[in-house]
Chain A
Amino acid sequence: MLLEFIINIAYLAGSLAFVWGLRLLSSPDTARKGNIVAGSGMVIAILAALFQPIEGASNNYLWIAGALAVGAAIGLVSAKKVQMTAMPQMVSIFNGLGGACAVVLAYAELFPFYEGSKPLDLAGLSIVLSALLIGGVSFTGSLLAYGKLQGLVNDSQVALPRHSAINLALLAVTLGLGIYLAAAGSSGSLALGSLFMALSLIYGFSFVAPIGGADMPVVISLLNSFTGLSAAVTGLIYGSQFMLVGGILVGASGTILTVLMCDAMNRSLLNVLIGGFGGGGSSSAAGQADGLVAKEVSLNDAAIQLFYASSAIIVPGYGLAVAQAQKVCKEVDELLEKNGVEVRYAIHPVAGRMPGHMNVLLAEADVPYPKLLDLEEANAALKDTDIVVIVGANDVVNPAADDDPGSPIYGMPVLKVWDAKNVIVLKRSMSPGYAGIQNPLFFHDKTRMLFGDAKDSLAKLAGEIKSL
């Protein structure tokens, strides 16, 4: 009796800890505490799950202890080793594991059910099948997202022609089989159940396949919410309110981020999933490059321009992460600040490959967060800014989004860097960004290009500024 009471209180406390922890995430000052609170909630709940009395259970504590140790070791070591620039990959793979766990649990329910040793009603069976589907999609989808972010998989290797039609057909078949299995009840078979799982896994892979590059933040957020949902549904299998609450909270977080990311690109979720970029629009945009020559700037000139400016704004993008240039960037920032230049950063919501990607990198480099401007603040500040330095950003500073109705990204809110007096673009080469959208900014009167690896260029720039 008493034990049961303690266990129930423990789950309740765990759920409250999740909510309280997420609440503390609303400010950078309390965020770390929030994470610890949420983590403690998880520990309490795991302990409760270990000691909750289950009638006639053989417990098998040795198996659990072994699995906990293996999992904790893998998790902690990879969390410690991962580089901040690789955070999107890390989040993707962890996310996928949560989905995989839901798949394993749901699949384990099918064995006793089809053997006849554990009956399930329509609701119960539907729950199990939903967990298989959602968990499966989030698992393989996250795995492919990981592969893409890690550079193991190239977008063109996995995207088929007419991929959205294929996806639609695949989804229809998968859902059809799921509905059949739910309706068939115990007259279905384990083989068909396994086929359903396989189809869910294939669909997850296929669903992420055509989406890439700049759309990655949307996909990662969406997969995050799927994993949350799969956890919540799995909670229903085990009748655990705690799992339900945890899963729903994650689902809500993923959904909010997905909506924010879509808004930041002024595109609907459907448009992102079908892959609206590329195709027809890019040919007209590419034409603009004809006959135009981007003007280069020498390191020395760039350094002088920065040195004598009174205000500068740095626009980081995915290129900053790829080149791991965040610390050198901060070095340039410090040199300029020492000379009285006001340096700030303009962060576009979809810069990088996941929500908040740039913020984490700059935090790692010790850039104080009051120096970071969001889209609106930045666009207000850019008008009075002497010089803008663009480090590996492309689509988020594309003026075509503002003034070229023919461009595939027309209508996306962008950083209006051309409002500033001068723009220096740090870029590896003239190759266009994601999906081949040419950027007229590079040919703008105010723009000067500084070609080379971002980290290398920034380091040289720092050297030049020092010698002035």
Chain B
Amino acid sequence: MAEPSHNAGRNQAPRAREIIVTADGPLLVSGPVEIVMPDGRRVKSDRPVTALCVCKRSRRQPFCDTSHRCRVHADEIVQEEDRAQQTPAATG
């Protein structure tokens, strides 16, 4: 998460920006980042880590909104029938 310019004055190679490719969801990019959209619009994210949508299902492009998650009918959740997620315990 270090800014590449941080180490410029020291005798070290700048640390490459880390991008994590998740198996099940978004690309995780160490921020802050500015994303250029297909129409030329620039979108900024100041977060320490930004989750970029790659499944194209997010309604908040270019960011992940967890729309990649498996959507199932309650009667399909056999083992979890006692604890099907009804509402967030809160927001984090």
A binds B: no
Measured CB to CB, the residues of A under 8 A from B are none
Measured CB to CB, the residues of B under 8 A from A are none
